[in-house]
Structure 1
Amino acid sequence: MQGTLDELGTPLSRVTFVVFDLETTGGSPAEHAITEIGAVKVRGGEVLGEFATLVDPGMPIPPFISVLTGITDAMVVTAPPISSVLPSFLEFIRGATLVAHNSPFDMGFIKAACADLGYPPPPGTVVDTADLARRMLTRDEVPNCKLPTLARFFRSTHEPRHRALSDARATVDVLHGLLERAGSLGVHTLEELTGFVRMPTPEQRRKRHLADTVPASPGVYVFEDARGEALYIGKSGNLRARVRSYFTASETRRRIREMIGLAERVRTIVCATGLEAEVRELRLIAEAKPRYNRRSRSPERAVWLKLTNEPFPRLSIVREVRDDGAAYLGPFGGSRAAEDARAALHEAFPLRRCTERLGPRRSRPACSLAEIGRCGAPCEGRESPEAYAVHAERARRAMEDDVSEVFEAAWARIQRLSAGQRYEEAAAERDRLAAFVRAAARMQRLRGVTRIPHLVAAAPAFDGGWELHVIRYGRLAAAGVMPRGAHPAPYVDALVATAETVVPGPGPTPAAVAEETECILRWLESPGVRLVQAEPGWSMPVRSAAPLKARLDQVYRSLDRSSPREGRPLG
């Protein structure tokens, strides 16, 4: 029986599309607001109408957003609020199929505005031109699927410049180019287009057999190419289900789809527990450095702040922890954070900043810091090693145990700068203090467990048994499972006897990278975990950095909630 035209679907040439774009004050619909809406209505390649308006966000526009978009607070002062704009926009898009580039971002703000004002969200499927481009274009054609890149590829007559209407017009050209490409792939109706977006790629379908032999157990999986080189490493509580998901339409990441095209096998490492899988994943990524993993690839690049061990110690930024008697703070994610933490320490303690090695018999002319009282000039012999050692010991105590002296010195300076309306300098001082306090809080938390030579802990398993872990100096030494109803002593003794022998090294993380120890800490702090064996020493300093870190974090959260006409608080 021959089908009707209705059964064939709606031809793309007859579909009314509304291509829209938003500009906002930030990336979170819960904390930020819309500043501009631009939309273009098209059908059959013809523009039917346009919609464009600025929107008063009801909050200050951050300076970097103003630099990016050109939209300033002055421009939106007289603009209508979203409560006035949204009804007109919803009327403009009625009956049309919405299109946006990276649609989850734009639709998140539209749905949040609808929820706040009591409107139902726009119905129907939203076509995402970024997602279409990832499926239709190859890496050889475009290096990425950003809107400016695609606009150049399809020779758009409109240049995206982070303004809503111009970006919407450019997206129209990209959409038309993608629809032409879709036609060559057999996509001619709206229903076929939306189905095409949900389909796995031919490469994903062809490689599905790689998941056939994967066990349904917790562990680590390694995608390998024809030469056996690791392409991507991950972990899961159910290896089979996780690996199979890479060959379905739910996997839309372009780099992962590219990785699947190169993969020839999946190697699995079955683990006794989820924690063991998480730790093994970190270790394997650090060792193999797979090209498609983005995190944890280079733990050796961690940065440390070191108080040197010499007659006149100084603060130095290093990438290696040595057994030299020096004090270390870290690890930091980058040199910038380490430099900020060093500046906070220099604010509190008159430590020298010169890099020459000094001693009682070696001197050099003093720098300007000595003239303004920021250094005791040990280089000229004005300060003896014994007097200078007092400053160094205070700095060491601040780095390892009690951060209050640094906090009080920096906070006092922040208040003075704020009182003098020197807000930018106060904000910079606040950021330096935050870098120091956060690093100290992290290190104190790590050292609480890395100083313990031996610890055994258990957590309830889903089947009624127990997960057992042996932890030595913050490193996972063994993992096992005890079945339900079994006597624990034989299982614990056997696990301890076969556990890895861990020889600690220097520094706050003597046996494992900080990420591994943090995984272990999260597990130890999870509900239901019980200590089975533990040597003494798990403690935190009485005046730890954690409460001060919480106070600073609250300050940063308040910055996003400050009202349009009020100053941004510093503390």
Structure 2
Amino acid sequence: MSTAATPVRSRWESQRSFDELGRPLRDLTFCVVDLETTGGSAAGGSMITEIGAVKVCGGEVLGEFQTLVNPHTAIPPFIAVLTGISNSMVATAPPIESALPAFLEFAAGSVLVAHNAPFDIGFLQHFNEQQGRVWPRFEVLDTAKLARRVITRDDAPNCKLSSLAQLFGATTTPNHRALADARATVDVLHGLMERLGGLGVHTLEELQTFSSRVTTAQRKKRHLAEGLPHAPGVYLFRDDRARVLYVGTSKDLRTRVRSYFTASETRSRMGEMVGLATEVTGIECATPLEASVRELRLIAEHKPRYNRRSRNPEKAHFLKLTREPWPRLSLVKRVLDDDADYLGPFSSKKTAERCLSALHDAFPIRQCNDRLPIEPSRSACVLAEMDRCVAPCDGSTDASAYSELVAQLRESLLRNPDDVVATINERMDRLAADERFEEAAVHRDRLSGFLRAAAHTQRLSALTRCPEVVAALREDAGQWEVHVVRFGRLAAAGVIPSGADASIWVEQLRSSAETVRPAPGPTPAATAEESEQVLRWLERDGVRLVDVDGEWTCPVGGAGRHLALHDAVNRSRDSLVPFDERRALTLLHRPVR
């Protein structure tokens, strides 16, 4: 009996065909996970307090996983307010040594999904390594990253999980509890997949490479970068009427601008901007710091429609502790040369108001706007009846006691915020114990806003008080870049040429630097953002101070001590993802005007 030969594909041919076809999303099992933690950094000692996960395939839920985790450490009050998880709730929960293996068994064979995946997966990997285990070879999807590709501002104001859950009609509202947030993320994942399906994305491979797509129109404009040098500086995209559309900075102008016309540029807004652009001009700079500063100044000057940040540095807010017989706190838009104490600048009025409330919580000074006479002459307001004001208006306090209270407030503003921190932490503890988490969250936000503003003001003021700071940093190529900073403003920048006498060259740079006049209060002679860029450069490892005119010091007991934990948590738990890719701010020859 004879048999017909059956063609047999080689193993290599089968694998190639599989890769080309891809794995259909409808056939894959996804494990959507969310964590709650005691802080923002596992490496910094933060612990997991809850794990929640949902396993889905083809739009159907296959199973759920949830467990509280005993962190064996106290949960900070503001974390308890955020999550609703208290120390008593986790006291009898399993430790991470038991919870993590159980979760990994549940998730085995799945594609891991999380909203802001580097945070959640990073925590899991940290404790997995700490337990001496080999991390399973999970593929990972980040719904926050996917949302940046397909969600526009017409769809949602941002890419927070809460905003996306509302957009896609999630059946569960995110509430900073792990399982609820995981369930909401499942609905967001399915909503994103539905949108991506309309764009021809049907496999995991297509989903992973979707961010590499650019339009043909973008590619055709590569010639706009041809005239730019391979040098650090600032670039400006202009339209057919020479209007500036976008300002950016790079260590290599030509390479960076070319990236806008290739697969490495995936931001939808940038694609729109490139479509309008007819010209790109470059401005060479001596150092990256100069380029960064020049970028800020050009954005403020031209206010390009496609730059999100730094377009309106003049729209800042400050808190002012007035100088009058009965001082008060006031929200203002300008810093005057009036010997008052200022806190700021704040990027939004809402943040400034939160900070103002935090200070009023801790120091019951008057909140009325009237100018009081030295002697009291009227009845107290309702705030006095609520013990929220010492009521100088009706004589409840004398000038001496009021001055002492104001002195304590000034100390908290300028040097040591411990009184504010202690008062608000005590209030949050009481509210959390009574499970009044929403009220406690208000105080948490006020404290965070105050600490951030106080630390910012203290750092800026320390620099802007100095008439001149000259500093140098050795470049990778071995040459020294030098910056002259006057009252917080970059006045000159350059690189010492090979073979030049360093001291003579630095003196020449100083003599040619921009003349800068001091500005009142904490306001720098430049913008606050520019001086922050300068500060970051000055604080880099390897920077050497050549000369300092004045005292450049920050209070040892300043707000920065308390801010580190608050900032770490806010960065990690804030799932707001901008529609633009955020470039790391590069820290920025001649006076820059």
**What is the TM-score with the length of structure 2 in the denominator?**
0.72
Which secondary structure does the structure 1 equivalent of 2:227 belong to?
coil
For residues 474 and 484 of structure 1, the distance between their equivalents in structure 2, rounded to whole angstroms, comes to 29
Q: Contact (CA 8 Å) 1:219, 1:238: kept in 2 or not?
A: yes
1:486, CA displacement in angstroms? Answer: 0.6
Any residues of structure 2 matched to 1:56-95 within 5 Å, and which? Answer: 56-58=68-70, 64=82, 81-90=99-108, 92-93=109-110
Any residues of structure 2 matched to 1:7-18 within 5 Å, and which? Answer: 7-9=16-18, 11=21, 16-18=27-29
Q: Residues 89 and 346 of structure 1: is their aligned pair in 2 closer, same or farther, counting only changes over 3 Å?
A: closer
Q: 2:439 aligned with 1:439, yes or no?
A: no
1:270, CA displacement in angstroms? Answer: 1.0
1:476, CA displacement in angstroms? Answer: 0.9
Q: Contact (CA 8 Å) 1:303, 1:319: kept in 2 or not?
A: yes
1:52 alignment partner in structure 2: 64
Instruction: Give a deviation string over 1:133-181, Cα, whole Å, max 9, x none.
Output: 876898889998889999999x99x857555467547745754664464
Q: 2:286 aligned with 1:268, yes or no?
A: no
Q: Give the alignment partner of residue 373 of structure 2, picking from 359, 380, 386.
A: 359
Which secondary structure does the structure 2 equivalent of 1:496 belong to?
helix
Q: Contact (CA 8 Å) 1:19, 1:172: kept in 2 or not?
A: no
User: Aligned AA for 2:54?
Assistant: G
For residues 503 and 147 of structure 1, the distance between their equivalents in structure 2, rounded to whole angstroms, comes to 46
1:35 alignment partner in structure 2: 51
For residues 374 and 131 of structure 1, the distance between their equivalents in structure 2, rounded to whole angstroms, comes to 45
2:34 alignment partner in structure 1: 23
For residues 125 and 381 of structure 2, the distance between their equivalents in structure 1, rounded to whole angstroms, comes to 60
1:506, CA displacement in angstroms? Answer: 1.9
2:501 alignment partner in structure 1: 487
| Aligned pairs, number | 533
2:553 alignment partner in structure 1: 540
For residues 147 and 564 of structure 2, the distance between their equivalents in structure 1, rounded to whole angstroms, comes to 41
Instruction: Give a deviation string over 1:481-526, Cα, whole Å, max 9, x none.
Output: 2212211344234323332222223222241122222222222233
Q: Residues 548 and 254 of structure 1: is their aligned pair in 2 closer, same or farther, counting only changes over 3 Å?
A: same
Which secondary structure does the structure 1 equivalent of 2:458 belong to?
helix
Q: Residues 176 and 350 of structure 1: is their aligned pair in 2 closer, same or farther, counting only changes over 3 Å?
A: closer
For residues 314 and 151 of structure 1, the distance between their equivalents in structure 2, rounded to whole angstroms, comes to 43
Instruction: Give a deviation string over 1:210-267, Cα, whole Å, max 9, x none.
Output: 3222211111222333333333322222222322333343333343344333333322
2:477 alignment partner in structure 1: 463
2:543 alignment partner in structure 1: 529
Q: 2:212 aligned with 1:212, yes or no?
A: no
Instruction: Give a deviation string over 1:424-477, Cα, whole Å, max 9, x none.
Output: 788876765665455344323322221222333333233333222222111111
Moved more, 350-359 or 265-274: 350-359
**What is the TM-score with the length of structure 1 in the denominator?**
0.74
1:320, CA displacement in angstroms? Answer: 1.0
Which secondary structure does the structure 2 equivalent of 1:40 belong to?
strand
Which secondary structure does the structure 1 equivalent of 2:459 belong to?
helix
Which secondary structure does the structure 1 equivalent of 2:102 belong to?
helix
Instruction: Give a deviation string over 1:41-63, Cα, whole Å, max 9, x none.
Output: 34xxx97x834333444458956
For residues 151 and 478 of structure 2, the distance between their equivalents in structure 1, rounded to whole angstroms, comes to 50
Q: Contact (CA 8 Å) 1:437, 1:548: kept in 2 or not?
A: no
Q: Contact (CA 8 Å) 1:19, 1:168: kept in 2 or not?
A: no
1:316 alignment partner in structure 2: 330
1:122, CA displacement in angstroms? Answer: 5.0
Q: Residues 527 and 144 of structure 1: is their aligned pair in 2 closer, same or farther, counting only changes over 3 Å?
A: closer
1:423, CA displacement in angstroms? Answer: 8.9
Which secondary structure does the structure 2 equivalent of 1:25 belong to?
strand
Which secondary structure does the structure 1 equivalent of 2:493 belong to?
strand
- Max Rg structure: 1
For residues 138 and 374 of structure 1, the distance between their equivalents in structure 2, rounded to whole angstroms, comes to 44
Identity of aligned residues (%): 43
1:407 alignment partner in structure 2: 418
Q: Contact (CA 8 Å) 1:448, 1:539: kept in 2 or not?
A: yes
Q: Contact (CA 8 Å) 1:303, 1:335: kept in 2 or not?
A: yes
- Aligned Cα RMSD in Å? 4.9
For residues 176 and 431 of structure 1, the distance between their equivalents in structure 2, rounded to whole angstroms, comes to 36
Q: Residues 149 and 426 of structure 1: is their aligned pair in 2 closer, same or farther, counting only changes over 3 Å?
A: closer
Greater RCO, 1 or 2 (C-alpha within 8 Å, sep 6+): 2
For residues 461 and 295 of structure 2, the distance between their equivalents in structure 1, rounded to whole angstroms, comes to 23
Q: 2:363 aligned with 1:329, yes or no?
A: no
Q: Contact (CA 8 Å) 1:160, 1:170: kept in 2 or not?
A: no
Q: Residues 379 and 87 of structure 1: is their aligned pair in 2 closer, same or farther, counting only changes over 3 Å?
A: closer
Q: 2:255 aligned with 1:241, yes or no?
A: yes
Any residues of structure 2 matched to 1:98-497 within 5 Å, and which? Answer: 115=129, 120-121=134-135, 123=137, 163=180, 164=182, 168=186, 171=189, 175=193, 178-179=196-197, 181-182=199-200, 198-343=212-357, 345-346=359-360, 351-360=365-374, 363-367=377-381, 377-380=391-394, 387=400, 390-391=403-404, 394=407, 397-398=410-411, 401-403=414-416, 407-408=418-419, 411=422, 435-436=449-450, 438-497=452-511
For residues 362 and 401 of structure 2, the distance between their equivalents in structure 1, rounded to whole angstroms, comes to 14
1:356, CA displacement in angstroms? Answer: 1.0
Q: Residues 77 and 140 of structure 1: is their aligned pair in 2 closer, same or farther, counting only changes over 3 Å?
A: same
Q: Give the alignment partner of residue 515 of structure 1, picking from 529, 548, 552.
A: 529
For residues 344 and 98 of structure 1, the distance between their equivalents in structure 2, rounded to whole angstroms, comes to 40
Which secondary structure does the structure 2 equivalent of 1:290 belong to?
coil
Instruction: Give a deviation string over 1:2-49, Cα, whole Å, max 9, x none.
Output: 99776554545878422342233269684546633223334xxx97x8
Q: Residues 313 and 423 of structure 1: is their aligned pair in 2 closer, same or farther, counting only changes over 3 Å?
A: farther
1:355, CA displacement in angstroms? Answer: 1.1
User: Aligned AA for 1:524?
Assistant: L
For residues 133 and 350 of structure 1, the distance between their equivalents in structure 2, rounded to whole angstroms, comes to 45
